[in-house]
Amino acid sequence: MKTLLRSSLLLACLMVLAGCGVTSEAIIPMTGAVVSKQETVRVAVKVKAASANISIPGPGSYYDQTSGVFIGRFAKVQNAVFSSRNGLVAINGQVGQGKKAAKRIMFIPEEGQLVDIDGVKYRGQVELLANGSELTVVNHVGLEEYLCGVVPKETFASWPSEALKAQAIVSRSYTIAKREAMKGKDFDLQAPLDQLYGGASAEAPSTTAAVYETAGSYLEFEGKPLLTFFHTCCGGATEDGEKIFSNVKTYPAGHASPFCKSCKHYSWEYTIPMTTMASKLKAAGFDAGSARSFKILKRFGSERVAQISFGDGSKSVTLTGEQLRKAVGYDVIKSTKFYLDVKNGSYIFRGNGWGHGVGLCQWCTKTMAEQGWTSQQMVEFFYKGAKLR
């Protein structure tokens, strides 16, 4: 016990302890301090970061996540700057000494206490993972509590309840499928890459109600939880998943969906000088020379561009529509459902929709809900052949 106490002294000094001492018991998170009775999801809110500013009102406990060794209790953590030094968790620039210096630390606030990470409040627990000079921060949170912080970020709390419920079902399905795929990894999902996530700070009564009214419901396809991709606006038709994502083998087929015309992104236009196009392509690893010519080589059935080439007579490159979006910018080439013209030394894109086009179209669900569709009817429409569990 004395050895562990010495190795944990720095941590103890940098926090206000609750006076219950430090023991060397290997424990599971204490009864009453478990995040919730829900299934837990591990969400990385910072990955390979330089540091994170964390506050926890307390009280709570913290322990070495690698060994499961209990370190101690704290009254509160206030504006502590966590980082990684030589692969060890550092607090305000300092790390523990000896063999017990921690590479992974879990903080468990009492149930109901919120963790503040860089100004955003989260439910559940927070794990800090040190690797070299980089720090990853993972929020361990109940599945439904996680979704309460996702749905208001992925849609609008003012939308009809059935649309919000459809988003809750789809986000839950995505989470369950991704968690299964990430078993054995340091986290299940990464925000915002997988789904937008605003924690408890983003919660709204209407979206929270949508989550709990559909609690436990998810989509299954070919006997497994479906990785339910979704997007902002389909522009009139969704796309087959295997045509957009190389790791997808079979997926519910895309089809016409004429419900999102009220979205401001249904039709869009973007102009880019040829010189800028050439530099953006080259920066992305596609050297098309001056990129003064183009040719659309292939389209999918939804009219999305599958392959396109650019060149200048001496050099030529071919890339997919999604590679072009990534190179030029997802926010300006909003979808691959576009037509392209040349005028006065510039390319003019005219397109429809925003996003990859696979799965649920969020703006379609708004109109569908207004027309009386239920959330179940919506998800079954966008993921034909999938079963709601």
Write the pLDDT tens digit of every residue in 44-68: 999 999 999 999 998 999 999 988 8
Sorted by sequence, the CB contacts under 8 Å of residue 56 that are 6+ apart come out as: 74, 76, 77, 107, 109, 113, 115, 116, 126
> Distance between CA 339 and CA 341 in Å, rounded?
7
> Distance between CA 320 and CA 209 in Å, rounded?
40
Q: Where is 14: in which H helix or E strand?
A: helix 2-14
> Tell me, what's the pLDDT at 30?
32
Look at residue 218 and give its three-state secondary structure: coil
> Distance between CA 353 and CA 266 in Å, rounded?
5
The pTM of the full predicted model, rounded to 2 decimals, is: 0.88
pLDDT at 101 over 80: no
| E-assigned strand segments in 212-313 | 219-221, 224-225, 230-231, 267-273, 293-299, 305-311
* Residue 208: Cβ within 10 Å count: 20
The more confident residue out of 65 and 27 is: 65
